[in-house]
Amino acid sequence: MRLLTVVGARPQFIKAAVVSRAVHKRKNIEEIILHTGQHYDNNMSAVFFEEMNIPEPAYNLDIKEHSHGAMTAKMLDGIEKILLKEKPDLVLVYGDTNSTLAAALAASKLQIPVAHVEAGLRSHNMQMPEEINRILTDRVSNLLFCPTRQSVKNLKKEGFEKDFYRIYETGDVMLDAVKYYFKKSKAGILSKLNIRQNNFILSTFHRAENTDDINNLEKIISALNQLNKEKEVIVPLHPRTAKFIHQHKINTDFRIIKPLGYFDMLQLLSNCSIVITDSGGLQKEACFFKKFCVTLREQTEWTELIKNGYSILAGSNSKKILKYSQGLLSKPFPEMKELYGDGNAGEKIAVIIEKLSDNL
């Protein structure tokens, strides 16, 4: 069986590492990796392949720095050409990026089955490009690998229980990744940054609603500047966010560092006090390390984090960010529930693909 895996953004490299490791145990599956180039900075892309022992991509389309429409169109064209050349039996996509949607559309139009890891997630905010991408990707995917019980319910509610779709609750591959790679990571980043355990706040923000809107960006930075007076705030800054801060000459009092590799981020997550982020993946990873998360969004696809009190939505409201963060700094983390499976999602996905390969 020929499996074409399409990745393009930092979280997808992590997810692909988990599934690829399980797939490569099976002699009857040949995997080809295609990198769209959506994340191109070395610390956002290449270092992940090196750290996590992901096989070097057979193809890199090097598509970057375009509008949503232009980027998706260029990816569609490039991916289609590779699909026609490689003739895979199945295309595997992850998450909700433009790379995800482009690969799913290109494959479905060529009548090649599509498997979607992280299917069924919904924030119910159609102003988010990611929400549009994940809904459309689900619609053209044949195999829907759901990370949570809620994501399965979402699909069934939307009428996905038809012969075309095969829905599986596998658990979350990000939990697999944290369990496997944290053991391999080392705490050198703490001494390198001269920080102590549980004595800093870890924050990231990069989503369009927070960076493209100057008012939202200023409010988030204002809150972080205030928090930094009480406890050091460390921000591994996304290149896109750095560009906007520089353009608008916004003052930052907190500590900015370059984007980090996955291993270093795991160490910071493990040793921070709380997390403040608009990242989807980091919300969950904070939970895996029993750290509260203040989420810089009005909605989240990871609704179970909110329901169980592990995360709280603050949007870009400075007062809320300050109030929630200060409150959570002194609050004990509640008992953990098994929301994301048992840390064996990658193996489950590989087994399903292997069993179904003859019937695709």
Residue 317: Cβ within 10 Å count: 17
In whole angstroms, give the CA distance from residue 114 to residue 6: 11
Cβ 110 vs Cβ 136: under 8 Å: no
Cβ 3 vs Cβ 31: under 8 Å: yes
Residue 350: Cβ within 10 Å count: 21
206 belongs to the catalytic site:
yes
φ and ψ at residue 200, rounded to 5 degrees: -155, 155
3-state secondary structure of 143: strand
Residue bearing tokens 């996955």: 262
φ and ψ at residue 273, rounded to 5 degrees: -85, -55
In whole angstroms, give the CA distance from residue 249 to residue 289: 35
Tokens for 258, please give them.
């370059």
In whole angstroms, give the CA distance from residue 231 to residue 323: 14
Catalytic residue among 39, 206, 238, 246: 206
φ and ψ at residue 123, rounded to 5 degrees: -100, -15
Tokens for 209, please give them.
């609603």
In whole angstroms, give the CA distance from residue 275 to residue 328: 10
In whole angstroms, give the CA distance from residue 280 to residue 15: 13
Tokens for 190, please give them.
């703490």
Residue 70: Cβ within 10 Å count: 12
Catalytically annotated residues: 206
